[in-house]
């Protein structure tokens, strides 16, 4: 499923290395305003976070299983945020992507936007790692057998998307025991490292995912290091 939705426009793909969650959220809010005012192109941020539990609009504290003391000891925090969905985990070894895209100019349909994001990981896993992944009719995200490998959580403001995906690459999967992921009790979590049996090169994965997002959404990627300039 290769798209022409972006019409060949530029997609700025920014490698932010590791960034605290609160700083990344603040950056997203500023990018949404800049995209709304047409001061920047559509933008994809690729990064990792220190350990953090994020609580979406449907989240409940009962889904946090780790004690505050143990979470603090592990260097983790909890963030209540405006994306859709419930409770999830971000941490080292997980590739997080935030896609700032103007739905007014492109897809218009949020459902199609989410479907295309899922398609990115179905294709990356198949084309680069010979891993069969799929959507699930009950739960958003991308799955390998009965285990989730990519979680999605999207927000929209002024028809500009933000938040995005969390792809388990070399993630410490034991940290998902801190929560009930997305409120789902009968499914597991997996990672690219687990399904391939090999620890993965995060920079290589970033490039593969960045190019796949651009291709599937119909953009030309421009890879950059560091935060977008907003002046």
Domain boundaries, the chain: 10-49+93-173+188-225
The first and second tokens of residue 200, run together, are 């993965």
Give pLDDT, residue 181. Answer: 86
Q: What is the 3-state secondary structure (H, E, C) of 85-140?
A: CCEEEECCCEEEEEEECECCCCCCCHHHHHHHHHHHHHHHHHHHHCCCCECCCCCC
CA 153 to chain centre: 7
Low-confidence ranges of the chain (pLDDT < 70): 1-6, 107
Q: How far apart are CA 202 and CA 223, in angstroms?
A: 15
10-49+93-173+188-225: CATH superfamily: Bira Bifunctional Protein; Domain 2 (3.30.930.10)
Burial 83-106 (b: 16+ CB within 10 A, else e): bbbbbbbbbbbbbbbbbbbbbeeb
Q: How far is residue 201 from each of residues 21, 74, 192, 198, measured CA to CA in Å?
A: 22, 24, 11, 10
The first and second tokens of residue 49, run together, are 């976070």
Give me the active site residues, please: 182
Length of the chain: 231
Give pLDDT, residue 119. Answer: 97
Give pLDDT, residue 182. Answer: 80
Give pLDDT, residue 89. Answer: 96
Give pLDDT, residue 144. Answer: 97
Judged on CB neighbours under 10 Å (0-12, 13-18, 19+), 79 is: middle
Query: Do 158 and 36 form a contact (C-beta atoms < 8 A)?
Result: yes
Give pLDDT, residue 83. Answer: 85
Q: Are strands 220-225 and 10-18 parallel, antiparallel or unpaired?
A: parallel
């Amino acid at each position: 499923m290769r798209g022409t939705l972006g019409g060949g426009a530029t997609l700025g793909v920014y490698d932010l290395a590791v960034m605290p969650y609160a700083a990344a959220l603040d950056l997203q809010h500023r990018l949404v305003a800049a995209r709304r005012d047409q001061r920047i192109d559509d933008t994809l941020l690729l990064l990792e976070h220190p350990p953090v539990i994020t609580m979406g609009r449907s989240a409940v504290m009962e889904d946090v299983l780790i004690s505050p003391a143990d979470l603090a000891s592990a260097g983790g925090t909890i963030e209540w945020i405006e994306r859709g969905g419930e409770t999830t985990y971000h941490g080292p070894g997980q590739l997080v992507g935030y896609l700032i895209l103007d739905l007014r100019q492109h897809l218009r349909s949020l459902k199609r936007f989410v479907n295309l994001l899922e398609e990115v990981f179905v294709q990356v896993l198949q084309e680069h790692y010979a891993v069969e992944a799929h959507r699930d009719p009950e739960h958003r995200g991308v799955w390998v057998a009965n285990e989730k490998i990519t979680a999605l959580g999207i927000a929209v403001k002024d028809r500009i998307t933000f938040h995005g995906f969390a792809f388990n690459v070399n993630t410490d999967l034991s940290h998902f025991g801190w929560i009930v992921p997305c409120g789902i009790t009968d499914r597991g979590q997996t990672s690219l490292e687990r399904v391939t049996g090999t620890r993965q090169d995060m920079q290589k994965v970033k490039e593969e995912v960045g190019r796949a997002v651009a291709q599937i959404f119909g953009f030309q990627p421009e890879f950059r290091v560091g935060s977008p300039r907003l002046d």
